Structure 1
Amino acid sequence: MTAPSHTARAHSFNAAAAQYAANRPSYPPALFDAVEDLAGRPLTGSRVVDVGAGTGIATALLHARGADVLAVEPGDGMATQFRRTHPDIPIVRGNGNTLPLADDSADFLTYAQAWHWTDPNLAIPEAVRVLRPGGALALWWNTDALDVPWLAEAAERIGRHFEVNIHEEKRNVNARAVDPADRLDFTRREVRWSRRIPVDTHIANIASHSTFLVGDEEESAAFLAEERAHLMRAFPDGIVEEVYDVILLLATA
């Protein structure tokens, strides 16, 4: 069977936007502290463009931090969900490869769980164009804390199902931000946090990832049902603590 294309995976979220908004994890305040520390400037009062904003999980937190935020989102379903949830935050349609923004117009460009959907050969020059001198490009991903035994075991099961090495993918996150023309030099920071949620929320979170959204529905449903049964045996009270390492990569223009 041919693997789903990168484009198909990128567009898969539009049909699952409500599920994404309801079940995906947020981000801790310490992440935004780290963004400010590495950038050497506050988010409060800064012009921030959140690219690939999705349903607005990160955008809303940036707004609450006091930033003047504009969301950029390419997907119909995600943008509709964003407007429904965050009617007071402006959003425009576009993507990181061709930003619908003027030169030198942003203090921060942020990509929460979104940079890997861009082409760095296009997105990095666009970031350099749009950022004001001294502005920052901040990329981050929630990644499972694989030193937590139950999460490591779950990652192994998912890895076997999709024939991927999730441990190796986490180690190689830095490669996602390599600038082919050496215009930007990224610094890495990790922030650990956790959330306690019902098993069913955890399963719905997993199911909202593109690898499941584009997969065979029956196979995905069977795997997720088996995973739920496994977790209910391990956590009979029906509550799990998801532990995340947010990997932050930041470069200043």
Structure 2
Amino acid sequence: MDQDEQLLHASSFGAAAVAYAEHRPDYAQTAVRWALEPAPGPRVLDLGAGTGKLTATLVALGADVIAVEPDPAMLTELRRSLPAVRALPGSAEAIPLPDASVDAVLAGNAMHWFDMAVAGPEIARVLAPGGILAGLWNVMDDQVDWVAGLARVSGSAAIGPRDTPTSWRAETADMHLPKTGVAARFGSPEQAEFPHGQRRTADSLVATIATRAGVLVMPEQEQEATLGRIRAFLASRPETARGEFTLPMLTGVLRVRRL
């Protein structure tokens, strides 16, 4: 993906902020606990916080959370749903916090949008010594037969390069911390995956997929055709054709410590 295409995808969510808040899953608490386990204290920055899906999990776990989000529509939705959380406009490349002011920086389904050549030093700046940087991604468990079928039918725009466990592991193994420069500020990355799931209906799963960046930027006709294919597939499967079901997922975590 070139830089212009990356920017288009990264800026596509604001128009769908309410749908994003309604349909996107939260994060497995076990995954968030593992991400925070080595952190030296309770101060956590949720960076690229979106509508507050990860923020809410952090609050539930008792963290002292600050949320930073660049998109005004997403930030408005976050403030509406979590009025007690300090939520600031800003980005990974320009974090509106003082030096060494947080013990952990977490990013939920957001770190792949960061320009780490700029964001890496910024994150290192706001982290206390020994602090943790962790990215979390919710991925569909394609070891389950019908989920693998859904991934095939949906196509790469709807089910992207970090949306299944195997592709997530490969995509995040070392792409976010370059071998030089930024990497000198952080230790070796660790990856782990934790079982998760989301109660869905066929309609709400189609609505969830409609909030993905690759779908949001499609021409209208192509978007309708893609979502129509997915709807037909879900109607054809006994696991998803009637009423509610659990979408099998994993929360994947990439964790590094600031040196």
Fold in common (TM above 0.5): yes
For the 8 Å contact 1:16–1:208, the answer to whether it is kept is yes
Relative to structure 1, the CA distance from residue 59 to residue 162 in structure 2 (aligned partners, 3 Å threshold; closer, same or farther) is closer
Q: Within 1, Cα distance between the matches of 2:69 and 2:229?
A: 34
Residue 8 of structure 1: CA displacement? 1.1
Identical amino acids, percent of aligned pairs: 33
Any unmatched runs of 5+ in structure 1? none
* Residue of 245, 254, 257 corresponding to 1:249: 254
For the 8 Å contact 2:70–2:89, the answer to whether it is kept is yes
Which residue of structure 2 aligns with residue 10 of structure 1?
Answer: 10
For the 8 Å contact 1:49–1:70, the answer to whether it is kept is yes
Relative to structure 1, the CA distance from residue 210 to residue 83 in structure 2 (aligned partners, 3 Å threshold; closer, same or farther) is same
* Residue of 223, 228, 253 corresponding to 2:226: 223
Which residue of structure 2 aligns with residue 203 of structure 1?
Answer: 206
For the 8 Å contact 2:202–2:231, the answer to whether it is kept is yes
The more displaced of 236-245 and 185-194 is 236-245
Q: Deviations over 1:64-118 (max 9, x none)?
A: 2111111000001101111111111111111111211111111010101000110
Which one-letter code corresponds to 2:211 in the other structure? S
> Superposed, which structure 2 residues align to 1:141-156 within 5 Å?
141-156=137-152
* Residue of 200, 217, 231 corresponding to 1:214: 217
Q: Within 2, Cα distance between the matches of 1:12 and 1:192?
A: 28
Find out whether 1:191 has 2:194 as its counterpart: yes
Which residue of structure 2 aligns with residue 236 of structure 1?
Answer: 241
The more displaced of 10-19 and 185-194 is 185-194
Find out whether 1:102 has 2:107 as its counterpart: no
Q: Within 1, Cα distance between the matches of 2:231 and 2:159?
A: 20
Which residue of structure 1 aligns with residue 167 of structure 2?
Answer: 169
Which residue of structure 1 aligns with residue 179 of structure 2?
Answer: 180
Residue 195 of structure 1: CA displacement? 2.2
Which residue of structure 1 aligns with residue 27 of structure 2?
Answer: 27
The more displaced of 220-229 and 12-21 is 220-229
Find the residue that maps to 1:177 and give its secondary structure. Answer: coil
Find out whether 1:158 has 2:154 as its counterpart: yes
Residue 12 of structure 1: CA displacement? 0.7
Q: Within 2, Cα distance between the matches of 1:207 and 1:69?
A: 29
RMSD: 2.2
TM-score where L is the length of structure 2: 0.88
Q: Within 2, Cα distance between the matches of 1:164 and 1:17?
A: 19
Q: Within 2, Cα distance between the matches of 1:191 and 1:204?
A: 24
Relative to structure 1, the CA distance from residue 202 to residue 4 in structure 2 (aligned partners, 3 Å threshold; closer, same or farther) is farther
Residue 3 of structure 1: CA displacement? 10
Q: Within 1, Cα distance between the matches of 2:159 and 2:71?
A: 28
TM-score where L is the length of structure 1: 0.90
Any unmatched runs of 5+ in structure 2? none
Q: Within 1, Cα distance between the matches of 2:73 and 2:11?
A: 9
Q: Within 1, Cα distance between the matches of 2:215 and 2:176?
A: 25
Q: Within 2, Cα distance between the matches of 1:120 and 1:188?
A: 18
Q: Within 1, Cα distance between the matches of 2:212 and 2:232?
A: 20
Relative to structure 1, the CA distance from residue 84 to residue 159 in structure 2 (aligned partners, 3 Å threshold; closer, same or farther) is same
Residue 140 of structure 1: CA displacement? 0.9
Find out whether 1:129 has 2:132 as its counterpart: no
